[in-house]
A and B are shown apart, each in its own frame.
Chain A
């Protein structure tokens, strides 16, 4: 936590300060409501320590057991790139890469990931040195409102790796052959990331370019 305070938070400073104070106000309110529903048995929140590596930095947090990985990243580490869309694993906006694999950070408890290596959109590239997938999204206009974009980009990076590693998908014709880098494969593998603006065709163009799909 303290280590992350050192991170330069530039243009989001005001927004973050707002979010922190909002959550500080919200927490007692939520507890009061629970207490009203079940006045007799309202156990105190349980805190557990967890350490993991986020974007190359080791962090140690003391968290309420109920904290999702997404909330730990956003509310505790102030890495607000990963977005909370549906908060139930349906939209993919919270997609991050953990130990080399993409997951929905909203459907995972932070305390379960002691020792994990986590990469969020903030860890893929920087404004000065974009990850090739970030650059391709910019070039092909792979977004409109941008809310789903961090999840789309983390998923896209993983899709390329998964195809190259030979992992099959629902549309892979021959399970015993190496899957091909095709639009059909990319579309199937991106189905866990929803874009409400409908920027899909440009997103596919960006991934095609990075993946080296012809035509």
Chain B
């Protein structure tokens, strides 16, 4: 691990300003992903700003019936919150399907959104990776692609976003509240938060340098039947091959978001208009234009089948 300085943030604006002004500085909250990458020297921050003592560790109701989740609420606390379990079950389910309790006890809401990819070519510093070293190329393309993305990819990157929580957040139309280095605040719809890789796969979100997430806010509950179905190589403690988050209303309409297939949580609102026509119609629209390889072509029919199972379950519920 490279040498770094360490300081505890005093206010969100001060933290944002420090990280924006200090070359190579990063925030650290749970650290479960950042530290792992620092040990491998994939991440090499020269300064860490610890934001854990800033607060932002509560879940509060909003005036319009939603929930405002502090950025540093731990994944365990978010998944266990009675309001989340009752009104946003898909979020609780997504969180509980990811990682282990040990990790969820540390990992934070904002950190979960900011997870780096688990693409093995990103992790292997002997390989070319445009995300790790911009302009170096992508060894994943033409490499072993079973776990990698099939929609929204580019010639520069076929990595997936590893988060389960983010898929549920996308489904629920969460909003990300931030503080910028100049002290100003803004709210970013989750749909706009993560970027597709394009020619700059190393830029994964729309956050500016030093911009600090303070809250993630959920709109009022949707009702309906919530599900998060995750298919993976082990029954527990593994990243998704494909995951499907759904909220299905009594009239059969609903929402669908997919994990494990793209550089960001994958949702196509237009596809949801096809709910009445069945899972195949929705999945076809969702996965239209998929670029697959022999190894990951299974992901396209898998989206359809998981969605069909979720729709079937919703009818029985």
Would you call A109 and B236 a contact (CB within 8 A)? no
Majority SS at the chain B contact face = mixed
Bound-state CA distance A191–B39 (Å) is 24
Number of interface residues of A (CB under 8 A): 42
Contacts of B36 in A (CB 8 A): 88-89, 107
Number of A-B contacts (CB under 8 A): 106
Known contacts A167-B80, A170-B236; is A65 also within 8 Å of B101 by CB?
no
With A107-B35, A167-B80, A175-B85 as known contacts, state yes or no: A66 contacts B102, CB within 8 Å.
no
A187 to B14, CA, bound (A): 44
A92 touches B80 (CB 8 A): no
Tell whether, in the assembled complex, residue A107 and residue B101 are in contact, meaning their CB atoms are under 8 Å apart. no
A104 pairs with B101, CB closer than 8 A: no
**Contact at B3–A162, with CB atoms within 8 Å?**
no
> In whole angstroms, how far apart are the Cα atoms of A122 and B76 in the complex?
26
Q: Which of A65, A169, A175, A193 contacts B4 (CB 8 A)?
A: A65
CB <8 Å contact, B3 and A66: yes
B115: interface (CB < 8 Å): no
- Looking at the complex, which of B91-99, B189-197, B204-212, B264-272 is the stretch in contact with chain A? B91-99
A43 to B4, CA, bound (A): 8
A104: contacting residue among B4, B103, B236, CB under 8 A: B103
Per-residue interface assignment for chain A, residues 65 to 86, with 1 indicating a CB less than 8 Å from any chain B CB and 0 otherwise: 1101000000000000000000
Are A107 and B1 in touch, CB under 8 angstroms? Answer: no
Closest B residue to A92 by beta carbon equals B102
B158 at interface (Cβ–Cβ under 8 A)? no
Residue from the list A44, A104, A169 in contact with B96, Cβ < 8 A: A169
Complex contact B100–A175 (CB within 8 A): no
Contact B39 A103 (CB under 8 A): no
7 additional contacts, CB 8 Å, given A89-B36, A168-B85, A191-B234? Answer: A34-B2, A45-B3, A46-B4, A68-B35, A87-B39, A103-B106, A155-B102
